[in-house]
Structure 1
């Protein structure tokens, strides 16, 4: 086996032992589903192991570990949000426009309700 890889594996094991419980809590904070949280934790550990050779000591190890974990968690959350089907389009969640009589009673000089072009009772 390669001596550099053994060194990286040893450093990773020490880092995982030191920060493991905190990384588990972080993964659960990003993901409520226990199975997806375990997947995220695995992704975080993989990202840390892959990027360990790039750690140059300019920041504290803890800072670097949590930056990698945060970036992995944020990417996970974005992917999950994009992959979840929505029950209705986002525009359907907009509030209904007020009746035209209310629109006409707004004082002049105030910003008009430009988003409301038609009134539908339903």
Structure 2
């Protein structure tokens, strides 16, 4: 922290490199595109530079930076939502829903391990086809997360995508531990569907 306040460039570069990817992913929960998310992150870093001397240390540096990001992203997202792109008028996800995993792959109700894998999924090796499937799966998961209500989307992104602890999530989102658990459970349930 002292290095940042002293204006040491290497310290700032280290913090930017560590936090920027996660910041872009979190900003995407509020704004419509990656380009806008990257702009919000840049604005956040400017805000951090301008306000580093006013940082009182009542929270961690990470929490403080992400709170600035969320405030800016929410403001920008509200402004961006006032205009609707033509492409948003068509819903590509409005197709008949099918289970993502064939139900016959699970053990039946008569089995002591009912609901468990009857035929477990195969390992995803470094075969090009498998890497493509992995990217497609990630895209499907990201699309499912994007359909969640804002608070659920924030919690699942921070916990499951970014790997934050529940305490860190509670501090940044300013929610109770119980509320965070409920939001995470609901988000995971909806993404699994």
TM-score, with normalisation over the residues of structure 1? 0.54
- Supply the distance in 2 between the matched residues of 1:7 and 1:51 (Cα, whole angstroms): 13
Following superposition, the deviation at residue 13 of structure 1 comes to 2.5
TM-score, with normalisation over the residues of structure 2? 0.36
Structure 2 gap ranges (5+):
87-193
| Residues 1-122 of structure 1 mapped to structure 2, 5 A cutoff | 7-10=6-9, 11-82=11-82, 84=83
SS in 1 for 2:29: helix
Structure 1 gap ranges (5+):
88-122
SS in 1 for 2:6: helix
* Higher-Rg member (1/2): 1
Q: Which residue of 1 aligns with 2:128?
A: none
Following superposition, the deviation at residue 73 of structure 1 comes to 0.7
> Do 2:27 and 2:37's aligned partners in 1 also have CA atoms closer than 8 Å?
yes
Following superposition, the deviation at residue 74 of structure 1 comes to 1.0
